[in-house]
Amino acid sequence: MVDEIQALQDNGTWQITTLPPGKQALGCKWIYRIKYHSDGSIERFKARLVILGNHQVEGMDFNETFAPVAKMVTIRTVLAVAAVKDWELHQMDVHNAFLHGDLEEDVYMKLPPGFSMQYRGMVCKLRKSLYGLRQAPRCWFAKLSAALLEYGFQQSSSDHSLFILRRLQVQLVVLVYVDDLLIAGNDSLATQRFKDYLHTCFHMKDLGKLKYFLGVEVARSPIGIFLSKRKYALDIIRETGLLGSRPSSTPLEENHRLALAEGPMLSNPNQYRRLVGRLIYLCFTRPDLTYSVHVLSQFMQQPREKHWQAALRVVRYLKGQPGQGILLHRDNVLTLNGWCDSDWASCPLTRRSITGWFILLGNSPVSWKTKKQHTVSRSSAEAEYRSMAITTCELKWLKALLSDIGISHPQPIPLSCDSQAALHISKNPVFTKELNTLRSIATSSVMQSLRM
């Protein structure tokens, strides 16, 4: 706690003053955490001062709050390209990242608990952002992106948290996920010079070569890069008390009717929400869980006992292979291939169809998703056509992302679908009135997805 206060004072985060008339001082509290290494050993004990931003008033204490973070698809794509190009992968962490952002609003905070005796009756006027402020992520990202652009990076238009630098034969790629930076490059000296530049701008911690990023264990070998969340999966199994249970062969029961499940409501719904939230994050390296987690996430508001038992079945499935992940091949051709599928009116409550897609970059999986369609499809052909439309959007976005990284993709992208009706409709440039209707429906569906 003393180290945290000293870091805040050295950073010039606040100044001690009296509270002006008409202003309200926000409270603050201490958050304690234990940071672990990838092998489970303790790295350090951490204390962080957090302001109670839930008491902020919009228009007075904050305005804009949105800040981009790297998409999981972007992370997998960059790692897949790095595996083929044999780029070096490094990781850096920003110490007290949110403290670097400059505040535009006048925000006052009560003195920290345990350190308020010396300045009784005074408050802290914040000069820089602090953890807990609603605008803190936005302020920090603006500060970091300004430093990267000044160094010569260009911001990707496909993913605003991706920055690319090209100088002669040197290429550097930086991915930003809040205060974690993933750096990929083809030149060791250029990478080190960039690290030194970051040290002059912020209080950075060099974590060396990439091994453990956002809970993902990264193992590199001559055949490629293997991504898994073994420790994260074991933590889920341990938390649910299923370490001694018998593994399940499938994550979800076939022909389930969870949407129509009856029975008692779950006594502790927060437990269900926490488990499903952790399973969603686990899908980063587990495409086999995507559909099951999609189904379970529909009952967050009012989960029943049957929903909880279905979630525990997914955990028992994890126990069979907790270290399963994805391999990003080194000997690979950087071309996209897509597969899509859809059922028809599978939801018994809304009669909406479910779309699923799976996209490979060469032989490396980079994108997958299961999503309920926005509107009701009047036929299976319409449902499949919608599925092809939304998958095409994802493929075009991935093509633009690869172009930003420096990978050209001039050849057509194969898209596989098992519906002959949808294929015939998409192949014929001139068809019947029904074709135009389907195209307008698919276009409206795509526009709704893009707005979301």
pLDDT in tens, 394-403: 999 999 999 9
CA distance 71 to 145: 17
State whether 83 and 40 are in the same domain: yes
Is there a domain that residue 279 lies in?
yes
- Total domains, the chain: 3
State whether 58 and 132 are in the same domain: yes
What's the whole-number mean pLDDT along residues 408-412?
A: 92
pLDDT band of 433, cuts 50, 70, 90: low
Give residue-wise pLDDT tens across range 150-204: 999 999 999 999 999 999 889 999 999 988 999 999 999 999 999 999 999 988 8
Give residue-wise pLDDT tens across range 342-368: 999 998 889 999 999 999 999 999 999
State whether 126 and 274 are in the same domain: no
Question: Residue 152 CA to chain centroid, in angstroms?
Answer: 26
pLDDT at residue 152, as a whole number: 93
CB–CB of 236/321 below 8 Å? Answer: no
Task: Look up the domain containing 279 and give its range.
Answer: 230-320
Compute the mean pLDDT over every residue in the chain, rounded to the nearest whole number: 89
State whether 181 and 98 are in the same domain: yes
pLDDT > 60? residue 259? yes
State whether 237 and 351 are in the same domain: no
What does the DSSP 8-state code read for residue 19?
P
Give residue-wise pLDDT tens across range 8-40: 888 888 888 888 888 888 899 999 998 887 677
DSSP-derived 3-state class of residue 136: helix
pLDDT band of 337, cuts 50, 70, 90: very high
- Give percent above pLDDT 90 in the chain: 58
**120 vs 404, more confident:** 404
State whether 184 and 252 are in the same domain: no
Domain boundary among 259, 287, 320: 320
The pTM for the full model equals: 0.86
Domain boundary among 295, 320, 345: 320
Q: Which residue has the tokens 């790295």?
A: 43
- Give percent above pLDDT 70 in the chain: 94
Among positive and negative, which fits the CA dihedral 411, 413, 419, 422? negative
Question: Residue 53 CA to chain centroid, in angstroms?
Answer: 23
Is there a domain that residue 325 lies in?
no
DSSP-derived 3-state class of residue 33: strand
Is there a domain that residue 326 lies in?
no
Residue 339 maps to which CATH number? 3.30.420
Is there a domain that residue 295 lies in?
yes
Helices 269-282 and 305-320 meet at what angle, rounded to 10? 40
CB–CB of 32/45 below 8 Å? Answer: yes
pLDDT band of 241, cuts 50, 70, 90: very high
CB atoms within 10 A of CB 231: 18
Domain boundary among 217, 249, 275: 217
Is there a domain that residue 225 lies in?
no
pLDDT at residue 53, as a whole number: 87
Cα Rg, the chain, nearest whole Å? 25
State whether 68 and 119 are in the same domain: yes
DSSP-derived 3-state class of residue 116: coil
pLDDT at residue 444, as a whole number: 65
pLDDT > 60? residue 452? no
pLDDT at residue 399, as a whole number: 96
Is there a domain that residue 435 lies in?
yes
Strands of 20-59, DSSP E: 25-26, 28-36, 42-51
pLDDT at residue 294, as a whole number: 95
CB atoms within 10 A of CB 40: 9
State whether 294 and 347 are in the same domain: no
DSSP-derived 3-state class of residue 301: coil
Q: Could you tell me the end-to-end alpha-carbon distance of the chain, in angstroms, rounded to an integer? A: 41
pLDDT at residue 431, as a whole number: 58
CB–CB of 181/92 below 8 Å? Answer: yes
pLDDT at residue 222, as a whole number: 92
- Residue type, position 417, single letter: C
pLDDT band of 122, cuts 50, 70, 90: confident
pLDDT at residue 430, as a whole number: 62
Among positive and negative, which fits the CA dihedral 289, 294, 299, 300? positive
Is there a domain that residue 328 lies in?
no
pLDDT > 70? residue 438? no
CA distance 313 to 422: 35
What's the whole-number mean pLDDT along residues 331-346?
A: 93
CA distance 102 to 11: 11
State whether 75 and 210 are in the same domain: yes
DSSP-derived 3-state class of residue 80: helix
Alpha helices in 167-268 (DSSP H): 188-201, 230-239
What's the whole-number mean pLDDT along residues 210-230?
A: 92
State whether 25 and 115 are in the same domain: yes
State whether 238 and 166 are in the same domain: no
State whether 281 and 370 are in the same domain: no
pLDDT band of 223, cuts 50, 70, 90: very high
pLDDT at residue 436, as a whole number: 61
- Residue type, position 380, single letter: S
What's the whole-number mean pLDDT along residues 134-156?
A: 92
pLDDT > 90? residue 317? yes
Question: Residue 206 CA to chain centroid, in angstroms?
Answer: 22
Mark 71-102 as b/e (b = at least 16 C-beta within 10 Å): bbbbbbbbbbbbbbbebbbbbbebebbbbbbe
Instruction: Kindly write down the DSSP assignment for every residue of 244-300, as one continuous string.
Output: TSPPPSSSS-TT--GGG--SPBPS-HHHHHHHHHHHHHHTTS-GGGHHHHHHHGGGS
Is there a domain that residue 224 lies in?
no
